[in-house]
Amino acid sequence: MHKTNVTVTGAALTPFNRRRDGTGFRDWAASAFDTALDMSGLERSDIDALYVASESDFFHLQLNPASVLATELGLVGVAATRCEGGGASGQLAVHAAIRSVQSGAARHAVVIGVDPSASALSGDAIRSLYGFSFDAWTDGMTGLTSTALYALSYQAFAAEHRTTEADLAAVTIQNRMNACSNPGAHLRRQDTADDISASPMISSPYRRLHCSPLSDGAAALILSQARYVPANRASAPRIAGAGAATDHMHLGARADPGTFSAKTKAMQRACTEAEISPSDIQMAELYDAYAGAQLQGITALGLSDAVSRDLRDGKFAGDGPCPINLSGGLMGQGAPVGATGVAQTATCALVLEGRYHAALQPQKPPVWALADTHGGVCTTSAVTILTQGKQAA
């Protein structure tokens, strides 16, 4: 018997891209919510709580987005909370909603992840803000970029695990290839190893094509207590476990700057709640802000003890035993920060139910799926394990 009683009754994503059509975060949130609500079979009046994930007030110039969206979505009267934890914001909002439903405080809770990460500010301004999402005193105010910090961490990982430029290229090519079959993806392109090696060096070993894009967009989930699930959603996927953890903010303070220790702890906590082991996971949406971060994540989550070999052998391919980033990940689908963790969880739910994009949907839906997100260089980690409805009583 699983300890959670939380069902995913609704799940939806808008396209992730750079919006230049006059729409804004309210429009994207409403679009995702309306689609998720239609899927759930619920009415607005059934919703008890709203959790909004948004990384930065600077993106949408709105200091209180949860209250604004409660009004915009027709949810006046519900409990509304804004969740923020850097890149982990979306997954942390999912966790807050899970605990609200699990505790009985809410029958049905909505999670909205949204950010205009691409269109609101210039690229240089966004990069500066991301520097402040680390330690502003030691990092942001010195001009140190997130790419440089991620590169330093990956260099340590690569030295220990002997990963290569070919491994970085393989992750990039696979994620972008998956994105080509995702009609809502930002970078639907077929990169080659030559394309990657010819792209500009940003911070060694990361070249431009090893990096995820800045994107706009929103994602929505509706989580429900099992006893209140509408009859049409009785076999919907369920939340099996959730875990979160933190690490030292500064790479130099960590015992191993190349190891995502917070991710390992978060995964252990989620697996304990789900009563499974990492080897049971049959698909995963991983946080791949950079190609090397995906390799670090796979290792830290316990999905592989020889990541280069398993990558080469096709374990993580779409037709492999554990497909990773069928959506294209951040590198292909895109990265509106607040929406990322919500989108990962929504994608896992849709795949488990056999409702994902036809060209990417496994012929036999997996039983166990993992959504993995982190903020900083895995300073804050949050993971969620989902399972098919028939697996959770």
The predicted structure's pLDDT at residue 22:
92
- Average of pLDDT values for 345-352? 98
Residue 136: its pLDDT value, please?
Answer: 81
Assign 3-state DSSP to the chain and report helix, strand, coil percentages, each to 5: 40, 20, 40
Q: Please check the confidence at residue 392 and state whether its pLDDT lies above 50.
A: no
Q: What integer is the mean pLDDT of 361-374?
A: 96
Give the model's pLDDT for residue 359: 96
Closest CA to 150 of 127, 173, 166: 127
Classify residue 252 by its DSSP letter.
Answer: G
The pLDDT-based confidence of 390 (bands split at 50, 70, 90) is: low
Give pLDDT tens digits for 261-276.
999 999 999 999 999 9
Rounded distance between C-alpha atoms, residue 5 and residue 387, angstroms = 12
- Name the residue ranges covered by the structural domains of the chain: 6-121+213-228+235-391
Q: Say yes or no to pLDDT of 186 above 80.
A: yes
Q: Does domain 6-121+213-228+235-391 have CATH number 3.40.47.10?
A: yes
Mean per-residue pLDDT for 184-199? 96
Closest CA to 89 of 337, 309, 378: 337
| pLDDT over 90, % of the chain | 87
Q: What is the mean pLDDT of the chain?
A: 94
